[in-house]
Amino acid sequence: MAYLPDWDYPAVQSGRCYEVARKHGKPVVIMEPVKGGMLANPPESVLNILKEAEPERSAASWAIRFAAGLEGVITVLSGMSSLEQMEDNLSSMKDFKGLTPQEQKTLDAAQREINRIPLIPCTACNYCAKVCPNNIGISGSFTAMNYLTLYKDKAAAAHQEDWLVGGHGKKKAAECIKCGKCEQVCPQHIAIREELARTAQAL
C-alpha cells in the first residue's frame, strides 16, 4: 500500500498507471512525488505516525523515498522552492536504499490514517455531470473540497477548483439549482446537493 493518496484515488489512479507501465516493461519517471508540496504537510495525525517512527525525517522524505524505491523508476522529479527543501531532498537520495519492511509498515499505518479522514467518496465517474441541467463541476468541486479537508490549505483547494471546474468550462458549486437529478444516478449514493452547498460555503 502506498503513502501517496493518489496511488489508488479513482480520479488519478497512479498505482494502476504504474502497473501498466511495468507490465509493458517501460521505465517510469515520477513527477511531483510530494504532490506539489502537499505531502510535506500531511494531516497532523498522519505526521505523528511518521515522526514517532523516525523523528529526524521530514514528511516529504517519506514520499520521495517511497517513489524512488519502486521497481523500474529511473528518475524522481521533485519541485523545490527553498535551499532547505533542496538539502532535504538530496539527503533523502544520498546513498539511496529502498524502504525497509518496518518503514513500509509505517507508511501503511499512515495510509490507513489518511483513509480514516472523512472525505466525499466521489470516484469522478461523472455520471452526475451527464444529467446536470446547470453544468456544475461536481466531481471537480468534490476533489477541491477533499483537498481542503485533508491539507487545510484553502489556496491549494481553490486552485484545484479553478482548474477542475472553471478550467473545464463548468460552473461552481454555488450555482447548483438543487434539482436532485445528480443524486438519482450517483453510484456512491452521495448527498450531492448537500455536499455542494458545504463546498460552496467552504471555498
Stretch 138-144: mean pLDDT, rounded? 94
Domain extent listing, the chain:
5-116, 127-202
Residue with cell 439549482: 177
Percent of the chain surpassing pLDDT 70: 97
pLDDT at 2 over 60: no
Helix-then-strand count for the chain, H and E: 10, 2
| CA dist., res. 36 & res. 40, Å (int) | 9
Residue with cell 519502486: 70
The pTM of this model reads: 0.72
Mean pLDDT of the chain: 90
Reported as a pLDDT band with limits 50, 70 and 90, residue 11 is low
Q: Do 134 and 176 form a contact (C-beta atoms < 8 A)?
A: yes
Q: For helices 192-202 and 138-151, give the axis angle rounded to 10 degrees.
A: 60
Q: Which CATH superfamily is domain 5-116 in?
A: NADP-dependent oxidoreductase domain (3.20.20.100)
